[in-house]
Amino acid sequence: MLAPLIFFFIILFFIGFLVIIFLPKEEETPKIYHSGTYSIIRVSPREKLKKERPSKDEMLDFVRKIGKDESLVDEYFNILEENIKEIEEGDKSGVVFFVYEKDNCSCETCKNIDNYYLRRRDIVENTSLIPPFHLGCKCKIKGTFDATLIETKERIKFVNSKWEDIYEES
């Protein structure tokens, strides 16, 4: 009579043991990105941009092929770096919105870009929202805490421009 009872408890103990071993553990959240509401998205777009934009060599090849000045490529990467830094600096102070500062480019994107603002969280999904939009583009982004600055602007959703497009300044 006692043997089946002991056997039953041994089985019960074993099941309990298995549950403890295999129960899914609570997800570990990376603490480094866990300091505020928007913190989870605050990963620098630098690495993503490196993958998604053409390399310097690729651009140089293109510029040589069409007989344009190679300095266009340096300028492109300098402005890109400035804009990445603006985002990274903004992440330290918790910037959520950016406004665009347009250049003298006459293309549809650049000439109207100051009508738009950019949300920090949109950068994660769509790095094409970070200027330069094409070779020769000198547009910049500036982080802002001033809500009145973006009130009159529209949120940017996409940029219709390819890096190979070179426009004349107006």
d(CA 145, CA 4): 72
Work out the angle between the directed axes of helices 71-93 and 56-65 (0-180°, nearest 10).
Answer: 150
Cβ atoms of residues 38 and 96 within 8 Å? yes
* Smallest distance from Zn ion to CB 94, Å: 27
Comparing CB distances to Zn ion, the nearer of 59 and 137 is: 137
Residue linked to tokens 């000439």: 111
Residues lying near Zn ion in the complex (CB under 5 A) are found at 103, 105, 107, 110, 137, 139
Q: Which of residues 91 and 117 has its CB atom nearest to Zn ion in the complex?
A: 117
Question: Edge to edge, what strands does the sheet with 140-144 contain?
Answer: 140-144, 97-101, 116-119, 154-155
Min separation Cβ 65 and Zn ion, Å: 20
3-state secondary structure of 103: coil
Q: Please, which residue, 18 or 154, has the CB nearer to Zn ion? A: 154
Least separation in angstroms between residue 107's CB and Zn ion is 3
Smallest distance, Å, CB 102 to Zn ion? 6
Nearer to Zn ion, 38 or 77 (CB): 77
What is the C-alpha separation between 143 and 103, in angstroms, rounded? 17
Q: Which is nearer to Zn ion, 107 or 123 (CB)?
A: 107
- Min CB(152)–Zn ion separation in Å: 20
In the numeric block, which tokens belong to residue 60?
């140089």
